[in-house]
């Protein structure tokens, strides 16, 4: 079955960087996008970005643009999210999700990872 397995929780100091991995299985990696969404404690969902499993094209939320980089490794069907210059308001659960298209330019997130908790604290 389709699975997205995320790396474990991390604690970082302000100004540091964090990398989260999202290892996928059970589907053709290059035929789908990977989306990233985060959720601050007690808050709603916030989209971070998309990356194409096919060609690595990316699209980022303006709020994190310049601090976030999404990448993929097609040999291991794994997606990565790097977030730099961490601030306390980056404390959140970060989710990866498979993006499926049914019409050009549109993707829905149909399978989600369990989330990775990132805590930014001095």
Partner 1 sequence: DIVMTQSPRSLPVTPGEPASITCRSSQSLLHSNGYNYLDWYLQKPGQSPQLLIYLGSNRASGVPDRFSGSGSGTDFTLKISKVEAEDVGVYYCMQALQPQLTFGPGTKVDIK
Given candidates 45, 57, 76, 87, which one binds partner 1 under the rule CB under 8 A? 45
Asked whether position 106 contacts partner 1 by CB under 8 A, the answer is yes
User: With binding defined as CB under 8 A, does residue 110 bind partner 1?
Assistant: yes
Start-to-end Cα distance in the chain = 40
Per CB under 8 A, the segment of 9-17, 19-27, 55-63, 74-82 that binds partner 1 is: 55-63
CA–CA gap between residue 12 and residue 21 (Å, rounded): 16
C-alpha to C-alpha distance for 28 and 10, rounded to whole angstroms: 29
User: Which of 90, 105, 108, 100 is closest to 39 using CA atoms?
Assistant: 90
* 27 binding partner 1? (CB under 8 A): no
For partner 1, the closer of residues 46 and 119 by Cβ is 46
Under DSSP, is residue 29 helix (H, G, I), strand (E, B) or coil?
Answer: helix
For residue 112, give the nearest of 92, 97, 91 by alpha carbon: 97
Nearer to partner 1, 82 or 110 (CB): 110
Q: Which of residues 68-97 bind partner 1 (CB under 8 A)?
A: 95, 97
- Is residue 62 within the footprint of partner 1 (CB under 8 A)? yes
Q: How far apart are CA 97 and CA 72, in angstroms?
A: 13
Instruction: Note whether 53 binds partner 1 by CB under 8 A.
Output: no
Tokens of 26: 């059970």
Residues in contact with partner 1 by the rule CB under 8 A: 37, 44-47, 59, 61-62, 95, 97, 102-104, 106-110, 112-115
């Amino acid at each position: 079955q389709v699975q997205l397995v995320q790396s474990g929780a991390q604690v970082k100091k302000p100004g540091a960087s964090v990398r989260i991995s999202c290892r996928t299985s059970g589907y053709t990696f290059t035929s789908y996008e990977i989306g990233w969404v985060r959720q601050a404690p007690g808050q709603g969902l916030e989209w971070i970005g998309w990356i194409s499993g096919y060609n690595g094209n990316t699209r980022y939320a303006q709020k994190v643009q310049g601090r976030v980089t999404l990448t993929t490794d097609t040999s291991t069907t794994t997606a990565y999210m790097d977030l730099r210059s961490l601030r306390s308001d980056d404390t959140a659960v970060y989710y990866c999700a498979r993006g499926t298209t049914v019409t050009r330019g549109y993707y829905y997130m149909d399978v989600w990872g369990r989330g990775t908790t990132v805590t930014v604290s001095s």
